Amino acid sequence: MTIKANPERALRDLYHLRSIGTYKTGVHRPTLSEDDLITRHWLVGELKAIGHEAWIDGIGNVISKTPATGNKLLAGSHLETQSHAGWLDGALGVVYALEAARAVVEAGRKDIGVEVFAFADEEGHFGSFTGSRSLTGELTEADIDQRADRTTGRPLRQAIADAGLSGVPRHRVDPARYIGMLEAHIEQGDWLESQKLQVGVVTSIVAIWQYKIVFEGVQNHAGTTRMAIRKDAGVALRRFCQRVEERFPQVCGERSVWTVGKIDLEPGAPSIIPGRASMTLQFRDADMATLLRLEQTVGELVDEANAAGPCTVSWETMNKNKPALMDEGIQAALEAAGGVYAPGKHARMPSGAGHDAQMMAQLMPAGMMFIPSIGGISHHWTEDTSDADIMLGAQVYADAVGRLLAR
Ligand SMILES: [Zn+2]
């Protein structure tokens, strides 16, 4: 079955969303802010206009249902943005899903349908994947009581009340209802652009493994303590970072990435030798064997540092999840659609960023499609993609949807 999108209409929708909470050439729409809610109500209106039942659930997710009794696909992404960030991160996947839902209706197919979701708080203003975790049943009422906006401190409970959503039931996804879940997103990296490609077929979403590494030394006077007798925890930390940069390239995978994102020196004063230092070390990869190899290397470097002295080093795991594998059938449908509209300009690739699709992959077959990000820039207001790439992507997405629903 061939489903044809109206790419100009999808582009118009994206420009409309860009006009809500505009910040320079990007947008500022934190979760459950006034502007964020305007976009959620807008989406509900657009879905009702094509005959869907649509509403905002008790955590802020936009949910839609079609009367279709045949194959149904769950599709969408998120509407809120990082603070002062880009106009496409999230909105793109929602608009592609909406456009595909319209295209199925316009094709006269009432037996099948695309049910569009806008997952609340993918960007984690109130934690991580708040909306998706609610849909999977993972998010408890106690979690909601504990969460607050990381910027303003407004409690999540209060934000829900302010949005008029107190007492509204939280939706749970019934996996049996769907043949699968599809999410489109900008790549947020520069790989597609660097390869002169227009469509990425996502094979997996990387796992994120993160550790806290602590160095214990002796705090002392920075002027009177001879170099030879110092136990400087800051020096031990810097050496460790250096060893990571030497060793990781020898054991990593082709697309592994690693980051020391936070360093603390205690007490943290110019004239005091740090007695204690700590750092986070995070790495990401889609391959379990590679993740295990990197983890083993961290352990070896800790042992090495302890053996060398004079400071002691310990490490603990902060976060370890599994790579989310994308469904082979959905990848094949995206590839076939790419073959029609972007011949020779599509390729399979992993996702280096986390997405709602990884949460839905716990419940049902899930897939993702990427379009290029200019200069690989994202989580910044200059984030952009050419109109041509946006419109082409809408067509590829709708075509893949048609293939999946026709099964
Ligand atoms: Zn996103």
- Helix residue ranges, H only, 163-273: 191-194, 233-251
**Considering only CA atoms, which of 163, 269, 286, 147 is closest in space to residue 220?**
269
The answer to whether 300 and 286 have CB atoms below 8 angstroms apart is: no
**Burial of 362 (C-beta count, 10 Å sphere; 0-12/13-18/19+):** middle
Cα–ligand 1 centroid distance for 205 (angstroms): 13
Residue 17 CA to ligand 1 center (angstroms) comes to 15
Cα 253 to ligand 1 centre (Å):
25
- CA 30 to ligand 1 centroid distance, Å: 12
Find the 122 Cα to ligand 1 centroid distance in Å: 7
Q: Give CA–CA dist 144/161, Å, rounded.
A: 12
Q: How far is the CA of 177 from the centre of ligand 1 (A)?
A: 25
One DSSP character per residue, 309-339 reads: -SSEEEEEEEEE-PPEEPPHHHHHHHHHHHH
DSSP string, 35-48: HHHHHHHHHHHHHH
Looking at domain 207-320, its CATH class is: alpha beta
Distance of CA 312 from the midpoint of ligand 1 (Å): 40
- The alpha carbon of 282 is separated from its chain's Cα centroid by a whole number of angstroms, namely 16
pLDDT at 75: 98
Cα of 188 from ligand 1 centre, angstroms: 9
DSSP line for 335-404: HHHHHHHSTT-EEEEEESS--HHHHHTTTS-EEEEEE--GGG--SSTT----HHHHHHHHHHHHHHHHHH
Cα 243 to ligand 1 centre (Å) = 33
CA of 6 to the centre of ligand 1 (A): 23
> Residue 338: CB partners within 8 Å, gap ≥ 6?
199, 201, 345, 346, 396
**What pLDDT is recorded for position 407?**
81
Q: What pLDDT is attached to residue 128?
A: 85
Cα(313) to ligand 1 centroid in Å equals 36
CA of 200 to the centre of ligand 1 (A): 15
CA of 378 to the centre of ligand 1 (A): 9
Q: What whole-number distance in Å separates Cα of residue 92 and Cα of residue 97?
A: 9
Ligand 1 centroid vs 354 CA: distance in angstroms?
A: 8
How many angstroms separate the alpha carbon of residue 143 from the centre of ligand 1? Answer: 22
Distance 331 CA to ligand 1 centre (A): 20
Which pLDDT value is given to residue 382?
95
Kindly give the parts of the chain with pLDDT less than 70: none
199, 346 contact by CB (below 8 A): yes
C-alpha 305 to ligand 1 mean position (Å): 38
Given a contact cutoff of 8 angstroms between Cβ atoms, the answer to whether 129 and 121 are in contact is yes
Which pair of structure tokens corresponds to residue 102? 């319209």
What pLDDT shows up at residue 177? Answer: 98
- The Å distance, Cα 123 to ligand 1 centre, comes to 7
CA 182 / ligand 1 centre spacing (Å): 14
pLDDT of residue 1: 82
- What pLDDT sits at residue 39? 98
| Per-residue model confidence (pLDDT) at position 145 | 97
Rounded distance, CA 305 to CA 236, Å? Answer: 8
Distance CA(291)–CA(350), nearest Å, equals 14
Going from the Cα of 78 to the center of ligand 1, the distance in angstroms, rounded, reads 7
* pLDDT for the residue numbered 160: 98
How far, in Å, is the centroid of ligand 1 from the Cα of 187? 9
Residues of the chain with CATH 3.30.70.360: 207-320
CATH 3.40.630.10 location in the chain: 7-206+323-405
CATH number corresponding to 7-206+323-405: 3.40.630.10
Count of C-beta atoms within a 10 Å radius of residue 315: 19
Q: What's the 252 CA to ligand 1 centre distance in angstroms?
A: 26
Q: Are 355 and 183 in contact (CB under 8 A)?
A: yes
CA of 129 to the centre of ligand 1 (A): 11
Ligand 1 centre distance from Cα of residue 241 (Å): 30
Q: Please tell me the predicted confidence (pLDDT) of residue 288.
A: 95
Give the position of tokens 């505009």. Answer: 22
User: In the chain, how many H helices and how many E strands?
Assistant: 12, 18
In this prediction, residue 65 carries a pLDDT of 98
